[in-house]
Structure 1
Amino acid sequence: MRLAIIIINYRTPKLVIDCLASLQTEIEVGRDAVAIVDNASADDSIAQIEGSIAENGWSQWVKVIASPVNGGFSAGNNLGIAALTADAYLLLNSDTIVRPGAIAKLLVAKDDHPEAGIIGPRLEWLDGTPQRSCFRYHSPIGEFIDAAATGPITKLLEKYEVSLPVADAPIEPDWISFACVLIRREVIERVGSMDEGYFMYFDDTDYCRRVRRAGWKILHYPYARVVHLRGGSSSVKSAIATRKRPPAYLYASRSRYYRKFYGAPGLWMANLFWLAGRSVSLVRELAGNRQSHISEQAARDIWTNWRNPLQSSSLSVKKSQIETNER
Structure 2
Amino acid sequence: MQKVNNIPLVSIVTVNYNNAAVTAALLASVARNDYERVEMIVVDNASSENPTALYAKDYPWVKVIRSETNLGFAGGNNLGIQAATGEYLFLVNNDTEFTPGLIPALLEVFQSHPDAGIVSPKFHFFYEPGIIEYAGYNKMDVLTGRNSMIGRGQRDDGQYAELTNTWYAHGGAMMIKRSVLEDVGPMPDMYFLYYEELDWCEQFRRKGYQLYFQPAALIYHKESASTGKNSPLKTYYLTRNRILFMRRNVKWHQLLLFAGYFTCITIPKNTLGFLLRRESEHLKAFWKGVSWHLKWQ
Could you state the TM-score of these two structures normalised by the residue count of structure 2? Answer: 0.82
- Equivalent of 2:224 in 213, 231, 235: 231
The one-letter code of the counterpart of 1:17 is: A
Unaligned runs of 5+ in 2: 1-7, 153-159
Q: Which residue of 2 aligns with 1:305?
A: 292
Distance change >3 Å, CA 47–CA 304, structure 1 → 2: farther
Q: Which residue of 1 aligns with 2:187?
A: 194
Greater RCO between the two (CA within 8 Å, min separation 6)?
1
2:111 corresponds to 1:105: no
- Equivalent of 1:176 in 151, 154, 169: 169
Alignment partners' CA distance in 2, 1:229 and 1:112: 31
Q: Which residue of 1 aligns with 2:261?
A: 273
Query: Identity over aligned residues, as a percent?
Result: 26
Residue 50 of structure 1: how far off its partner (Å): 2.4
Distance change >3 Å, CA 297–CA 257, structure 1 → 2: same
2:31 corresponds to 1:24: yes
Alignment partners' CA distance in 2, 1:245 and 1:190: 33
- Equivalent of 2:239 in 248, 251, 256: 251
- Equivalent of 2:130 in 128, 135, 138: 128
- Equivalent of 2:198 in 169, 192, 205: 205
2:169 corresponds to 1:163: no
The one-letter code of the counterpart of 1:52 is: D
The one-letter code of the counterpart of 1:260 is: R
Could you state the TM-score of these two structures normalised by the residue count of structure 1? Answer: 0.75
Runs of 4+ in 1 over 4 A off after TM superposition: 263-268, 278-282, 295-299
CA contact (8 A) 1:140 1:274 kept: no
Distance change >3 Å, CA 179–CA 279, structure 1 → 2: closer
Instruction: Give CA-to-partner distance per residue, 1:243-289, whole Å, 9 cap, x none.
Output: x673423333223212212367755542431344449979xx9xxxx
**Residue-pair matches, total:** 277
Q: Which residue of 2 aligns with 1:325?
A: none
SS in structure 1 opposite 2:294?
A: coil
- Equivalent of 1:49 in 30, 48, 55: 55
Q: CA RMSD in A?
A: 3.0
Q: Which residue of 2 aligns with 1:216?
A: 209
2:28 corresponds to 1:11: no
Distance change >3 Å, CA 307–CA 262, structure 1 → 2: farther
Alignment partners' CA distance in 2, 1:195 and 1:26: 30
Distance change >3 Å, CA 269–CA 5, structure 1 → 2: same
CA contact (8 A) 2:35 2:104 kept: no
